[in-house]
Amino acid sequence: MYALKQGQANYTNPKNQPPLIDPAVIRAAGQIYHIYCEVHPEMTGQPSGVAINRFNHRGKVIFTNQPILLPEECFVQLNQIESYMY
């Protein structure tokens, strides 16, 4: 048990990897993104992901790379949403 805790304490998340997110939140973010694409087919910019509330799963599509989030929100990158779908 001690070795397991010690190994986790020394773990650092690589810069290019996003933090782990609950699969239910990723599914909800995917639904938000796909509904947005259906409602706005004339979308011109490339979205970077979805800012979503972890508790009630309400969110919005984000087009900036560094979104400002509320404390209960997390950011699901577009590549996470797409990779979860397949």
| pLDDT tens, residue by residue, 38-84 | 999 888 888 999 999 999 999 999 999 889 999 999 999 999 998 87
The pLDDT assigned to 47 comes to: 93
pTM given for the model: 0.74
Q: Say how many Å lie between the first and final Cα of the chain, rounded.
A: 36
Average pLDDT over residues 24-48: 92
- Report which secondary-structure segment, H or E, holds 30: helix 23-39
Query: How crowded is the C-beta side of 84, counted as CA atoms within 13 Å?
Result: 19
